[in-house]
């Protein structure tokens, strides 16, 4: 008899994606097959996001869609941040769902499926444990170094969903990177809610810099990328390590959320505008050529045009290489709900549009400065619909959110590094030929 199959619909951030990959690992180890499409699966799992309004809506719509398109005998389970946050309400509102669980706990959903006596019992389990099933391209992988967050940012519901900060051990992380590299992964993207807080709960001698040193010493992974850094605990040891290694990408994703003193205080970010400027200056001088990515939040309660001007000054001064923005979403249970009405959504959208317009100009100027340079890139794949062209990324670009390099000429292989010369630039992409 064919083994039962599972398909997971993943929503939200890369941390949720790692949970989805681990979920697949649990079920594959138990002998389930993976169904490529939801309609083919014995069990469909919707791994939801519950961070902000738009994400919650997307998750609910996906659940309703699964219920409406359920195939004969198919079981539907819901997991992730939305169900972690609203379990009882959702269970009442969408009774058609067969099983509700919260955020990923190793083996938890599998145990519940087993004890649900739905008859989804594979005849034989896998002979070895499968920790996770990569759902990204096979040459890069997200690597969660911790779960949860101890910070108190006014607008953020994550600590209430994912709990307090818990670091994984260095041994676990190093072993996972070794396994991933052994499976062909060339780029390990370190993720967390708060990357720079790594190890603070593990005692003396633990931290992001010591972890990176172990990764460099005990693995051969060619590229390590740092994302979701919080603008704190970025010591000279970390800057020197990144500056001194060609295996740690000259890249730092550090969401700043705002640039005005008043807004940073209201958001309870725990640092000052001047503190941010000093930190950005230290990073730029400590790691020459680093690509700085950040994210800003517009329309927070009380934000004035003066506050927006201060943010734009920081953008002009720092000239971020990569920048994303979103508008404030009032989240129940967060401190921001006590701070009065958000800014008129139209004004917030207008500020976001002005910010992104200026950023596209800065991004074009910075990209044009790369024309003529020879850079190492990781080839992500064949460009869509163009068999002789390839998409790649430099160390200055994370997958899915940043720029790509379109290789116009020359042979290269997906999942492999190659050297290219930059021959053209647009706001958010580069053009290159293989050298
Ligand atoms: S650092 Fe702030 S914004 Fe980020 S997850 Fe923690 S509380 Fe939320």
The reported pLDDT for the residue numbered 117 is: 83
Q: How many whole angstroms separate alpha carbon 157 and alpha carbon 292? A: 25
Which of 12, 14, 149 should be mutated for ligand 1, with most atoms under 8 A from CB? 149
The reported pLDDT for the residue numbered 420 is: 98
Per-residue model confidence as pLDDT tens digits over 241-272: 999 999 999 999 999 999 999 999 999 999 99
Helix (H) or strand (E) holding 405: strand 404-409
- The pLDDT of 349-370, averaged and rounded, is 98
Domain 5-115 identical in fold to domain 140-368: no
User: Pseudo-torsion of CA 413, 415, 420, 422, nearest 10°?
Assistant: 120
Query: How sure is the predictor about 373, in pLDDT bands with cuts at 50, 70 and 90?
Result: very high
The reported pLDDT for the residue numbered 338 is: 96
**Ligand 1 atom with the shortest distance to the CA of 149:** 6
* CA distances for 30 relative to 6, 23, 37, 109, 123, angstroms: 11, 11, 20, 12, 9
Q: Does domain 5-115 have CATH number 3.40.50.970?
A: no
Q: What is the Å distance from ligand 1's center to 155 Cα?
A: 8
Q: What is the Å distance from ligand 1's center to 324 Cα?
A: 16
- The pLDDT of 349-364, averaged and rounded, is 98
The reported pLDDT for the residue numbered 161 is: 97
Tell me the DSSP string of 238-302: HHHHHHH-SSEEEEEE---B---HHHHHHTT-SS-HHHHHHHHHHHHHHSTTPEEEEEEEE--TT
| Ligand 1, CB within 6 Å, residue ranges | 149, 151, 153, 156, 158-159, 193-194, 230
Tell me the DSSP string of 184-253: T--EEEEE-SSGGGTTTTS-TT-SHHHHHHHHHHH---SEEEE-S--SS---HHHHHHHHH-SSEEEEEE
**Ligand 1 atom with the shortest distance to the CA of 156:** 8
How many CA atoms lie less than 13 Å away from 308 in the CB half-sphere? 22
Q: What is the Å distance from ligand 1's center to 406 Cα?
A: 34
The reported pLDDT for the residue numbered 87 is: 97
The reported pLDDT for the residue numbered 386 is: 76
The reported pLDDT for the residue numbered 311 is: 98
- pLDDT at residue 1 above 80? no
- The pLDDT of 95-106, averaged and rounded, is 97
Q: Are strands 404-409 and 390-393 parallel, antiparallel or unpaired?
A: antiparallel
- The pLDDT of 168-196, averaged and rounded, is 98
- The pLDDT of 173-193, averaged and rounded, is 98
Hunting for tokens 């499409």 — which residue is that?
A: 37
Hunting for tokens 């001047």 — which residue is that?
A: 274
Ligand 1, atom 8, lies closest to the CA of: 156
Ligand 1, atom 4, lies closest to the CA of: 193
Contact between 194 and 152 (Cβ < 8 Å): no
Domain ranges of the chain: 5-115, 140-368, 374-434
**Computed from CA positions of residues 304, 309, 312, 314, in that sequence, does the dihedral angle turn out positive or negative?**
negative
- pLDDT at residue 391 above 90? yes
**Ligand 1 atom with the shortest distance to the CA of 194:** 1
Q: Which residues pair with 323 in a beta bridge?
A: 294
Query: How sure is the predictor about 413, in pLDDT bands with cuts at 50, 70 and 90?
Result: very high
Q: How many whole angstroms separate alpha carbon 11 and alpha carbon 92? A: 22
**Ligand 1 atom with the shortest distance to the CA of 159:** 7
Which of 15, 160, 194 should be mutated for ligand 1, with most atoms under 8 A from CB? 194
Q: How many whole angstroms separate alpha carbon 30 and alpha carbon 387? A: 39
- The pLDDT of 126-138, averaged and rounded, is 93
Q: Which residues pair with 27 in a beta bridge?
A: none
Contact between 301 and 342 (Cβ < 8 Å): yes
- pLDDT at residue 162 above 90? yes
Burial class (CB within 10 angstroms; exposed 0-12, middle 13-18, buried 19+) of 307: buried
Based on DSSP, count helices (H) and strands (E) in the chain, helices before strands. Answer: 12, 18
Q: Are strands 417-425 and 404-409 parallel, antiparallel or unpaired?
A: unpaired
Which three-class secondary structure state does DSSP give residue 43?
strand
The reported pLDDT for the residue numbered 271 is: 95
Contact between 121 and 140 (Cβ < 8 Å): no
Q: How many whole angstroms separate alpha carbon 245 and alpha carbon 27? A: 38
Query: How sure is the predictor about 285, in pLDDT bands with cuts at 50, 70 and 90?
Result: very high
Closest listed residue to residue 114, CA positions, set 183, 26, 225: 26
- The pLDDT of 131-144, averaged and rounded, is 97
Q: Which residues pair with 7 in a beta bridge?
A: 44
The reported pLDDT for the residue numbered 384 is: 78
- pLDDT at residue 135 above 80? yes
- CA angle, 327 as apex, 332 and 310 as ends, to 5°? 115
Query: Which percentage of the chain shows pLDDT scores above 70?
Result: 100
The reported pLDDT for the residue numbered 124 is: 82
Which three-class secondary structure state does DSSP give residue 398?
coil
Q: What is the Å distance from ligand 1's center to 146 Cα?
A: 13
The reported pLDDT for the residue numbered 388 is: 82
- The pLDDT of 389-417, averaged and rounded, is 95
Q: Does domain 140-368 have CATH number 3.30.390.50?
A: no
Ligand 1, atom 5, lies closest to the CA of: 193
The reported pLDDT for the residue numbered 280 is: 98
**Ligand 1 atom with the shortest distance to the CA of 193:** 5
- pLDDT at residue 419 above 90? yes
Q: What is the Å distance from ligand 1's center to 21 Cα?
A: 23
Query: How sure is the predictor about 122, in pLDDT bands with cuts at 50, 70 and 90?
Result: confident
Q: How many whole angstroms separate alpha carbon 431 and alpha carbon 334? A: 44
- pLDDT at residue 147 above 80? yes
**Ligand 1 atom with the shortest distance to the CA of 157:** 8
Q: What is the Å distance from ligand 1's center to 232 Cα?
A: 12
**Computed from CA positions of residues 332, 333, 334, 338, in that sequence, does the dihedral angle turn out positive or negative?**
positive
Which three-class secondary structure state does DSSP give residue 164?
coil
Per-residue model confidence as pLDDT tens digits over 200-231: 999 988 999 999 999 999 999 999 999 999 99
Closest listed residue to residue 378, CA positions, set 188, 211, 204: 188
374-434: CATH topology is OB fold (Dihydrolipoamide Acetyltransferase, E2P) (2.40.50)
Q: What is the Å distance from ligand 1's center to 227 Cα?
A: 13
Q: What is the Å distance from ligand 1's center to 268 Cα?
A: 10
Ligand 1, atom 2, lies closest to the CA of: 153
Q: What is the Å distance from ligand 1's center to 193 Cα?
A: 6
Contact between 431 and 425 (Cβ < 8 Å): yes
Per-residue model confidence as pLDDT tens digits over 38-86: 999 999 999 999 999 999 999 999 999 999 999 999 999 999 999 999 9
Hunting for tokens 């401190």 — which residue is that?
A: 335
Mean pLDDT for the chain?
A: 96
């Amino acid at each position: 008899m064919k083994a039962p199959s599972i398909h997971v619909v993943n929503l939200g951030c890369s941390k949720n994606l790692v949970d989805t990959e681990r979920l697949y690992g649990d079920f594959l180890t138990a002998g389930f097959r993976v169904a490529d499409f939801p309609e083919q699966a014995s069990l469909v799992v919707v791994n939801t996001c519950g961070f902000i309004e738009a994400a919650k809506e997307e998750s609910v719509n996906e659940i309703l869609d699964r219920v409406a398109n359920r195939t004969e005998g198919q079981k539907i389970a819901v997991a992730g941040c939305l169900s972690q946050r609203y379990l009882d309400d959702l269970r009442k509102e969408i009774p058609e769902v067969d099983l509700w669980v919260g955020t990923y706990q190793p083996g938890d959903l599998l145990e519940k499926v087993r004890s649900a006596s739905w008859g989804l019992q594979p005849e034989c389990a896998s002979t070895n444990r499968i920790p996770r099933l990569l759902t990204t391209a096979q040459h890069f992988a997200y690597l969660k170094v911790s779960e949860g967050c101890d910070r108190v940012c006014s607008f953020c519901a994550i600590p209430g969903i994912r709990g307090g900060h818990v670091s994984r051990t260095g041994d676990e992380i190093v072993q996972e990177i070794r396994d991933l590299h052994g499976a062909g992964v060339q780029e390990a993207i370190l993720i967390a809610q708060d990357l720079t807080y790594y190890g603070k709960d593990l005692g003396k001698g633990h931290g992001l810099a010591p972890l990176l040193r172990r990764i460099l010493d005990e693995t051969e992974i060619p590229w390590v990328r740092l994302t979701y850094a919080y603008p704190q605990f970025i010591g000279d040891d970390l800057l020197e390590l990144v500056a001194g290694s060609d295996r740690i990408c000259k890249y730092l994703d550090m969401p700043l959320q705002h640039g005005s003193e008043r807004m940073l205080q209201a958001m309870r970010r725990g640092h000052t505008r001047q503190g941010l400027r000093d930190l950005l200056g230290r990073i730029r001088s400590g790691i020459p050529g680093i690509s700085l990515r950040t994210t800003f939040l517009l329309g927070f309660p009380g934000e004035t045009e003066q506050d927006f001007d201060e943010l734009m000054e920081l953008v002009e001064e720092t000239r971020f290489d990569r920048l994303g923005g979103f508008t404030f979403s009032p989240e129940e249970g967060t401190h921001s709900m006590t701070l009065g009405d958000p800014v008129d959504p139209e004004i917030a959208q207008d500020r976001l549009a002005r910010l992104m317009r200026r950023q596209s100009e800065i991004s074009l100027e910075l990209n044009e400065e790369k024309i003529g340079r020879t850079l190492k890139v990781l080839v992500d794949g064949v460009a869509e619909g163009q068999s002789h062209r390839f998409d790649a990324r430099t160390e200055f670009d994370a997958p899915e959110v940043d720029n790509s390099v379109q290789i116009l000429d020359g042979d290269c292989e997906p999942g492999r590094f190659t050297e290219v010369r930059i021959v053209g630039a647009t706001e958010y992409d580069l053009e290159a030929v293989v050298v």
